[in-house]
Amino acid sequence: MARILVVDDSRTTRKILRKMLENRGHEVVDEAANGEEAVAKYKEIKPDLTTLDITMPVLDGIGALKQIIDFDSNAKVIMVTAAGQKHKVMEAMKANAAEFITKPLLEEEVMERIDRVLQKAND
């Protein structure tokens, strides 16, 4: 199973994602509450996959995504977005996000997208 970094400024969202991932046998290796922490932790841990909220303080998800991809062009990053942020999703996809998930988080959708990204990485 995958080693995953969960990034969201909402402690509740991090907790929900952690539970979903661990229920499916994945290991949440760390969490971050903003983009700056996310980039630092990514460089330190080099997880198999990162979930990254788009709207966060200090450094937003798009900025963090760009820095992570600059550091590791093979990074697998799934963006987490609130409904109605279509322009942000397009920007993230252009910056090489692997996939995106919309809040509220539905376990089946989250796991389907995570499995798809991990499958592609193993093909």
Tens place of pLDDT for every residue, the chain, 123 residues? 999 999 999 999 999 999 999 999 999 999 999 999 999 999 999 999 999 999 999 999 999 999 999 999 999 999 998 877 788 888 999 999 999 999 999 999 999 999 999 998 778
Alpha-carbon distance 123 to 104, whole Å? 30
Question: Which candidate, 34, 116, 47, places its Cα nearest to that of 75?
Answer: 47
Alpha-carbon distance 88 to 5, whole Å? 21
* Total residue count of the chain as it appears in this document: 123
pTM of the complete model: 0.94
Residue 111: partners with Cβ closer than 8 Å, 6 or more residues away? 20, 24
Sheet-wide strand order for 99-103: 27-32, 3-7, 49-53, 77-82, 99-103
- CA dihedral of residues 108, 63, 49, 6 (deg, nearest 10): -60
